[in-house]
Amino acid sequence: MPDTPVGELGYEQARDELVEVVRALETGGLGLDESVALWERGEALAKRCEEALAGARERVEKALSEAEE
Amino acid sequence: MSSPSTEEAPWPVRTVARKISEWIDRLGAVWVEGQLAQVTARAGTGTAFLTLRDPVANVSLQLTAPMGLVSEQREVVAEGNRVIVHGKPSFFPGRGTLSIRVDRIRAVGLGELLARIERLRRLLAAEGLFDRARKRRLPFLPQRIGLITGRASAAEHDVVSNAQARWPAVEFRIENTATQGGLAVAQIVEALEILDRDPAVDVIVLARGGGSVEDLLPFSDETLCRAVAACRTPVVSAIGHEPDTPLVDHVADLRCSTPTEAGRRLVPDLAEETARIAGLRDRGRRALHGWVDREQRLIDSLRARPVLADPLRDMARRHEELERLRAATHAAVDRRIEREVREIGHLRARLTALGPAATLARGYAIVQRVTSDDVLPVLRSVAQVGAGDALRIRVGDGVVHAAVQDDPDA
């Protein structure tokens, strides 16, 4: 399990890793310790993705409002 | 007798007359050629009186001839004829006059005259007087026409009336001269000089109606031909003649067959020229109109082209396209973000379902022993820890760190 700090990942990397995390948890067969760690990692990745999307939306809206002035 | 005359001892008239007579007698008999200017031969008298004139110079001699000689040759001895006479110059003391007593008289033959003209023609041609290169152009519209012709002659009328018919404002300076006979050459040459000196005269016409070879002799005269060649003003010959051509025709800058033709050649036809100018002006105007019309059509068609007729249309079209692209981009970005948002939403929901989040939310917590490993073991038994161990407590909204204390109950 790579442990790059979540803040250093790009959106696509974070999302892809989140997909992997969800699939690994669904597949099951992991120990409790590992599951908890994986879940926490997933929460962090999800938060990172939500922030990236919110930033992207904000940039689009800002560009549009500037163009309309 | 031969003592010189003095004021004190003048010679008597008879002496002087006799001396003159002796001097003249020494000349002896001579052959003379000239033109008969006057013939006085009255029937019943014994002697005819004739005047013989030089055809070129204003010089004449008196002749006397026996009536018999004159009456034998009525046709030869007539005024205006060229004749060759043989006679003895004699002084007549009774009247104090000089005359030639003619004993033979004959006409200068036509053949001889023509042969002489031919010789002169060759001479003048050899000198280059007939060269085409010498011919000067006549002015298109003469300022003033110098006309040399007989007084009140048909030739004068023909030249003037024909020129006036074509160009009513034509101006003439007319010099009337003899056009045949002994005085003709001298008078014509003088008239030529007068007209040549007149600065307003820019063309000179020699006009005479037709006539016999003898009548036209002045116009083949060497002096006259040279005078014409020497003129600075262009000279037109208009001698009505046939079939022989007087030499002046060759020397002149333009040769017209009749005075009528000269009148036509001297000036342009006013009506014809006016019509020609009107025609040219008309053509020019039409050509210009045509050009303007053509250019106007070209400009009109260019102006009607969409880019000129509505210069903003193309820009508007581009603007619309830009707006469309911008909207499409916006929509695409929006869609993309929405899709990602949904996907992340799904992932999160699954993560929540898989994880302990719901349990934690109810108040449970996960306690982990902090180790140097990546994976922290979840605390399942008190046997797993001792006093002083570091713990990590995960609750619904975060993490709390704690340490194990000594159990006072143990």
Segments making up each domain of chain B, as ranges: 13-108, 113-270, 359-403
Neighbours of B5 (CB within 10 A): 12
Alpha carbons B384 and B377: distance in angstroms, whole number: 9
Alpha helices (H) in B63-182, listed in sequence order: 67-72, 110-126, 154-166
Residue of chain A whose Cα is closest to the Cα of B378: A33
Which residues in chain A are closer than 8 Å to B333, comparing Cβ atoms? 56, 60
Question: Residue A1: is its pLDDT beyond 50?
Answer: no
Residue of chain A whose Cα is closest to the Cα of B351: A22
Alpha carbons B335 and B347: distance in angstroms, whole number: 18
Residue A3 belongs to a domain:
no
Rounded (10°) CA dihedral B260, B262, B263, B264: 90
The predicted pLDDT at position B398 comes to: 85
The predicted pLDDT at position B100 comes to: 92
Residue A1 belongs to a domain:
no
The predicted pLDDT at position A69 comes to: 66
Residue B83 · residue B48 · CB < 8 Å: no
B344 with A64: Cβ contact below 8 A: no
Neighbours of B250 (CB within 10 A): 19
Neighbours of B32 (CB within 10 A): 16
Question: Residue B276: is its pLDDT beyond 80?
Answer: yes
Q: pLDDT tens, B139-156? A: 888 989 999 999 888 899
Mean pLDDT of A29-42: 84
Question: Residue B271: is its pLDDT beyond 90?
Answer: no
Question: Residue B1: is its pLDDT beyond 60?
Answer: no
Top mean-pLDDT range of B195-204, B328-337, B400-409: B195-204
ipTM at complex level: 0.77
Residue A31 belongs to a domain:
yes
Residue B93 · residue B23 · CB < 8 Å: no
Question: Residue B236: is its pLDDT beyond 70?
Answer: yes
Q: What is the mean pLDDT of chain B?
A: 87
Question: Residue B70: is its pLDDT beyond 70?
Answer: yes
CATH number at residue A19: 1.10.287
Nearest to residue A37, comparing CAs of B111, B385, B399?
Answer: B399
H-helix or E-strand spanning residue B173: strand B172-176
Mean pLDDT of B245-274: 88
Residue B108 carries which side chain, given as an amino acid letter? V
Nearest to residue B239, comparing CAs of B264, B267, B220?
Answer: B220
Question: Residue B182: is its pLDDT beyond 80?
Answer: no
B378 with A36: Cβ contact below 8 A: yes
Neighbours of B116 (CB within 10 A): 14
Q: What is the CATH number of domain B113-270?
A: 3.40.50.2300
Facing residue for B378 by CB, picked from A1, A33, A64: A33
Mean pLDDT of B319-347: 88
DSSP code per residue over B265-310? HHS--HHHHHHHHHHHHHHHHHHHHHHHHHHHHHHHHHHHSHHHH-
Question: Residue B201: is its pLDDT beyond 90?
Answer: yes
- Identical fold for domains B13-108 and B113-270, yes or no, is no
Question: Residue B241: is its pLDDT beyond 80?
Answer: no
Tokens of B265: 């050649």
Question: Residue B111: is its pLDDT beyond 90?
Answer: no
Q: Write down the pTM of the prediction.
A: 0.49
H-helix or E-strand spanning residue A16: helix A11-27
Question: Residue B357: is its pLDDT beyond 90?
Answer: no
Which class would CATH give B13-108? Answer: mainly beta
Tokens of B378: 């979840």
- Percent of chain B's residues with pLDDT above 70: 97
B376 with A37: Cβ contact below 8 A: yes
Domain around A23: 10-68
The predicted pLDDT at position B243 comes to: 67
The predicted pLDDT at position B384 comes to: 85
The whole-angstrom distance between B325's CA and the closest CA on chain A is: 13
Annotate B255-294 with b (16+ C-beta within 10 A) or e (fewer).
bbbbbbbbbbbbbbebeeeeeeeeeeeeeeeeeeeeeeee
User: Residues of A numbered 42-61 whose beta carbons fall under 8 angstroms of chain B's beta carbons: which are they?
Assistant: 42-43, 46, 49-50, 53, 56-57, 60
Q: pLDDT tens, B280-299? A: 999 988 988 888 888 889 88
Cα separations (Å) of A33 from A36, A41, B5, B373, B408?
5, 12, 191, 11, 29
